Amino acid sequence: MQLAVLPVESDAFPGVARAVNASLQAAKVKGVDETRVSKVSIEVVQLSIECVEPTTACYEAAGHSMSANRLLFARIDPAARQLKLTVTLFDVDARAPKRTEAKVFATAAAAIQGAPALVAAVTQ
């Protein structure tokens, strides 16, 4: 089984993006034989296949385009002086999210500290 880890990008929160990416790359997912770390984010993959909505169908198409059975990715969304971090493990074969966790952090520093636990919650 192949896992594709897609980095998150954030111009507004580059430190958070670095922390999340380190946690995503270090994550271990049961049943995965091979992990490949993509150079581009889920959004860039979706643009390349012309399916840009955050939907099951688009994530499935992205997974197929990367020859992956699972996708591991995150989103950083600014929300009224806070930021929301969402981590998703998507099962391409089952055409459904295996697990998604989201948390709102008051500061970037709190998000950096909380990123490893959020990624672990999704991948364990």
Looking from the CA of 87 toward its CB, the CA atoms found within 13 Å total: 26
**Ramachandran bin of 90, using left for φ above 0, alpha for ψ from -120 to 50, beta for the remaining angles:** beta
Q: How many CB atoms lie within 10 A of CB 53?
A: 9
Looking from the CA of 112 toward its CB, the CA atoms found within 13 Å total: 11
pLDDT tens profile 21-51: 999 999 999 999 999 999 999 999 999 999 9
Instruction: Give me the number of domains the chain comprises.
Output: 1
Domain that holds residue 89: 2-123
Q: How confident is the model at residue 78 (pLDDT cuts 50, 70, 90)?
A: confident
* CA 18, 36, 114, 58 torsion-angle sign: positive
SS3 state of residue 5: strand
Residue 17's CATH number: 3.40.50
pTM score of the predicted model: 0.94
What phi and psi, each to the nearest 5 degrees, are found at residue 54?
Answer: -80, 65
114 and 106 in contact (C-beta within 8 Å)?
no
Question: Does 80 score more than 80 pLDDT?
Answer: no
Which residue's structure tokens are 């992956």? Answer: 68
Which residues have C-beta within 8 Å of that of residue 75, sequence separation ≥ 6?
8, 42, 54, 84, 85, 86, 88
